[in-house]
Amino acid sequence: MATARSGATPDATPTSQRQRGASNRGARPASTGRADGRRGAAHLEQFQADCDARLAGMAGEPRQWVEFVEQVAAFGARYSVSNQLLLSIQAAQRGITPRYFLPYGGKDRTSGWLRHGRQVRRGEQAFRIWAPIMRRPSEEQAAQLAAAGNPVLRDADGRPVKQVVGFRAESTFELSQTDGAPFEPPTVQRIRRRSVVGRRLPQPVDGDDPTNVLNDLITLIEAEGFTFQLVPPGSGHLGAANGVTVFGAARLVQVRADGSAAQRVATTAHELAHIRCGHVSAALSGAQVHRGRAETEAESVAHVVCAALGFDTRSYSDAYVLGWADGDMELVRSCAETVRRVSRRILLDLTPGDTDDEPGDEPGDEPSNEPSEVPSEVPDDAAREKLGGAAAGDAADAVQPAGTGAADALVGATR
């Protein structure tokens, strides 16, 4: 584990060396070396085993899936599935309820906790997550990536563009590990209250939709080329449903008009999720869309969005959850990443300007504000030992190639 601004784990470094490491961020005492790298890799291997066990639980127990969805909502869907599981496992091991994570911050104090006037306390152990490594692959590496099923984009001159070629362990710290200026985690609900209510937009009288999010959700649906209608129950294409998405010649979303404001928001978010998850486009192309998976993804996205916005989500149903997956961990991982990715995109659309410098987003997410310490090239074994943790100068780093293990980025794996 990394310690705040120290060069190695506390049990391996004398006090005098820890103090020197604190004054020289990223410095490594002479006593550390391959052993620290192996110890860090062993920690991450154990975390990966724990992640696999958590995925297996999610595949077989609906309640564990619901708990995962609630954790995604709590962090505004900022983290990949692997990182979400890593953080929750480490937090449980430490007996804390995490609220917000950021890296230590750069020397210019424009990133991480330093940007917010807060300092990580000396001796605090960092949480570990995966961060992508960007580089321009050689032609040989491009061929290997393509053979592994990873698309290789090229520029106008035909050269491979910079892309994710691997992942390395990154350090981040929880709010409770810091001292300094007052800090309130910027939840989606708070950001919308500040940006929407601050513009003095009309507010609904019932108070069930305090930031007027329904209108924004409708705008997102219309931007996808669909007409939105609030209709009486049982009319139009609804039947007995609360909402329906019609595709083909008529691209139409209908939602019951007689529900509460919160219910209309939840149903509208559910229908938007069907569109954003690719269920409509897949059906239009003739692909087979499993109804159980489609409903699990749409309902889970709606739950994340509504919970992040501060709505009461206790009525969330797990009726569809994962019975269709038959315990297939990779299918569950793919479904979970689709939920996380689509939720994040919707929340970003609803909270413009939400761009804090938090590591751990998967490639393809916007904004992508990776710490500057993430290397631009994949290190060899010797160079890898010299790489300090981005937030704490930890020597115990591990690198995984893209498309393997905890580094799997299933962005785009929609159905």
In a domain, 174, yes or no: yes
Q: Is 51 in the same domain as 170?
A: yes
Closest CA to 175 of 111, 106, 96: 96
> Are residue 32 and residue 149 in the same domain, yes or no?
yes
Residue 37 belongs to some domain of the structure? yes
Co-location of 17 and 156 in the same domain: yes
Task: For residues 105 and 227, state if they share a domain.
Answer: no
153 and 232 part of one domain: no
Together in a domain, 167 and 200? no
> Does the residue 206 lie in any domain?
yes
CA 366 to chain centre: 11
Residues 266 and 125 in one domain: no
Backbone torsions φ then ψ of 265, nearest 5 degrees: -65, -50
Written as one letter, the residue type at 294 is A
Domain range holding 88? 10-184+356-407
Residue 2 belongs to a domain:
no
Please give the Cα distance from 87 to 126 (Å, whole number). Answer: 11
- Tell me whether residue 415 is in a domain: no
Distance in angstroms (rounded) separating the CA atoms of residues 307 and 266: 10
Q: What angle do CA 412, 71, 117 make, to 5 degrees?
A: 100
Residues 210 and 295 in one domain: yes
**362 vs 140, 186, 338, CA distance in Å?**
25, 20, 12
Residues 6+ apart with CB under 8 A from 300: 65, 69, 321, 339, 343
Locate the DSSP E strands across 136-218. 163-174, 178-180
Whether residues 180 and 192 fall in one domain: no
Do 139 and 210 lie in one domain? The reply is no
User: How many residues does this entry show for the chain?
Assistant: 415
pLDDT per residue, tens digit, the chain (415 aa), is 444 543 333 333 333 333 433 333 333 333 344 555 566 567 667 777 888 888 888 877 777 888 888 888 888 888 888 888 889 889 988 998 888 899 988 888 888 899 999 999 999 999 988 888 888 888 988 888 888 888 888 998 889 898 887 788 889 999 999 999 999 887 776 666 554 444 433 333 344 676 789 999 999 999 999 999 999 998 888 888 889 999 878 899 999 998 888 889 999 999 999 999 999 887 777 777 778 888 889 989 998 998 888 887 666 555 555 566 676 778 888 899 999 999 999 999 998 765 554 544 443 333 333 332 222 222 233 222 222 222 333 323 333 334 333 322 212 222 2
Number of domains in the chain: 2
Q: Are residues 226 and 263 in the same domain?
A: yes
* Within a domain: 1: no
**In a domain? residue 53:** yes
- Residue 413 resides in a domain: no
Classified as helix, coil or strand, 114 is helix
